[in-house]
């Protein structure tokens, strides 16, 4: 006589909940015999094979409806079904890759906040080539910002901090896509000191840029100021936007004749 199994035995063997086996039965994947006297389910070796196949196809991500119909598919239909699932997984893999890349960028921004705290005013190469104007209603630029908030930049000059322009950093090869009036700043060389700017997230949006600038001006003359967004976080009970700020610096004895080639392209108010 063929050996049979009770639902509890099958559930433990396959590490499945008995309710899962009952649901698979409702979906037409399983059809165990039932004891006429007590209606208890009994599973045969053939049922074990059906459960094994269902577990396998479930591990491929196939829905129960497709698993139920697998025995009815031709080899060609079988291939088409699995290739479709493979395409879904490839797309999902790319989504995961992009998500991990964004997570790494955000973790790097947090690390940068801490680094700028411990090593303020270090001379660094500025990490952007061009900045174009940015308005939140510009959908394409907004998508770029959402993809990488570090692209959001603020452009000022140390001689007139109130003239602030908000923009998006773009690679040089994309610059010809923007009209000249949208170009706020281009990197023409120069030397920059990096520091951490902290700005209140609510009005009147107070920040510590003036204090940071005053410290740098003890050792240098200053020019362009480029602030790149790092993250928004709470500190000392207040919510702040944190920026990595690059301040263009010149030796104290600089005569200023060449300073214009390094300065930002300020628009007239």
Read off the CATH number of the domain in which 41 is found: 1.10.1660.10
In a domain, 267, yes or no: no
Does the residue 91 lie in any domain?
A: yes
Q: What is the domain extent for residue 42?
A: 5-72
Structural contact between residues 249 and 191, judged by C-beta atoms closer than 8 angstroms: yes
Do 197 and 154 belong together in one domain?
A: yes
Q: Are residues 159 and 204 in the same domain?
A: yes
* Rounded mean pLDDT, 253-268: 48
Question: How much is the mean pLDDT over the chain?
Answer: 89
Of 82-91, 96-105, 255-264, minimum mean pLDDT range:
255-264
- In this structure, is residue 113 part of a structural domain? no
Distance CA 76, CA 78 (A): 5
pLDDT at residue 138 in the model:
80
Domain membership flag for residue 139: yes
83 in the same domain as 57: no
Please indicate, yes or no, whether residues 211 and 227 belong to a single structural domain of this protein. Answer: yes
Which CATH number do you get for residue 203?
3.20.80
Structure tokens at 84: 């479709």
Give residue-wise pLDDT tens across range 153-196: 999 999 888 889 999 999 888 888 888 889 999 998 889 999 99
Residue 9 domain-assigned (yes or no): yes
- pLDDT tens digits, residue range 198-243? 999 888 889 999 999 999 999 999 999 999 999 999 998 999 999 9
- My answer on whether 126 and 258 are in the same domain is yes
The answer to whether the CB of 43 falls within 8 A of the CB of 7 is: yes
Domain presence at residue 114? no
**Using CA atoms, how far apart are residues 261 and 209, in angstroms rounded to an integer?**
23
Residues 85 and 27 in one domain: no
Residues 90, 91, 93, 97, Cα dihedral to 10°: 140
Is the residue at 219 inside a domain? yes
* Same structural domain, 147 and 160: yes
What was the pLDDT predicted at 79? 93
The reply to whether 112 falls in a domain is no
Residue 144's pLDDT band (boundaries 50, 70, 90)? confident
Task: Look at the chain and report how many structural domains it folds into.
Answer: 3
Using the 3D structure, point to which of 85, 107, 129 is the last residue of a domain.
107
Strand order in the sheet with 221-235: 122-124, 191-200, 238-250, 221-235, 152-157, 165-170, 130-133, 183-186
User: Are 25 and 97 in a shared domain?
Assistant: no
Residue 62 in this model has a pLDDT that exceeds 70: yes
- Do 204 and 95 have their domain in common? no
Residues 220 and 237 in one domain: yes
Residues 123 and 218 in one domain: yes
1 pLDDT higher than 90? no
Q: Which of 53-67, 131-145, 214-228 has the lowest mean pLDDT?
A: 131-145
Beta bridge partners of 150: none
Same domain, 228 and 217: yes
């Amino acid at each position: 006589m063929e050996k049979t199994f009770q639902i509890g035995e099958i559930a433990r063997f396959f590490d499945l909940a008995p309710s899962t086996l009952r649901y698979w039965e409702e979906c037409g994947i399983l059809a165990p015999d039932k004891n006429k006297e007590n209606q208890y389910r009994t599973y045969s070796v053939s049922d074990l094979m059906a459960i094994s196949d269902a577990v396998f196809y479930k591990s491929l991500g196939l829905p129960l409806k497709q698993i139920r119909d697998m025995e009815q598919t031709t080899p060609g239909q079988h291939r088409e079904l699995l290739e479709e699932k493979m395409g879904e997984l490839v797309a999902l893999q790319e989504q995961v890759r992009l998500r991990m890349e964004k997570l790494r960028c955000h973790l790097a921004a947090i690390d940068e906040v801490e680094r700028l705290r411990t090593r303020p005013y270090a001379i660094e190469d500025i990490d952007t080539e061009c900045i174009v104007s940015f308005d939140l209603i510009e959908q394409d630029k907004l998508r770029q910002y959402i993809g990488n908030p570090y692209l959001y930049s603020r452009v000022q000059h140390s001689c007139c901090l109130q003239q602030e322009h908000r923009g998006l950093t773009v690679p040089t090869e994309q610059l010809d896509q923007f009209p000249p009036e949208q170009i706020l700043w281009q990197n023409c060389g120069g030397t920059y000191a990096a520091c951490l700017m902290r700005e209140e997230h609510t009005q009147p949006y107070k920040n510590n840029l003036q204090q940071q600038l005053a410290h740098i001006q003890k050792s240098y003359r200053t020019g362009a100021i480029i602030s790149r967004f790092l993250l928004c976080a709470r500190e000392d009970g207040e919510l702040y936007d944190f920026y990595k700020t690059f301040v263009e610096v010149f030796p104290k004895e600089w005569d200023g004749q060449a300073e214009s080639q390094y300065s930002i392209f300020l628009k007239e108010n």
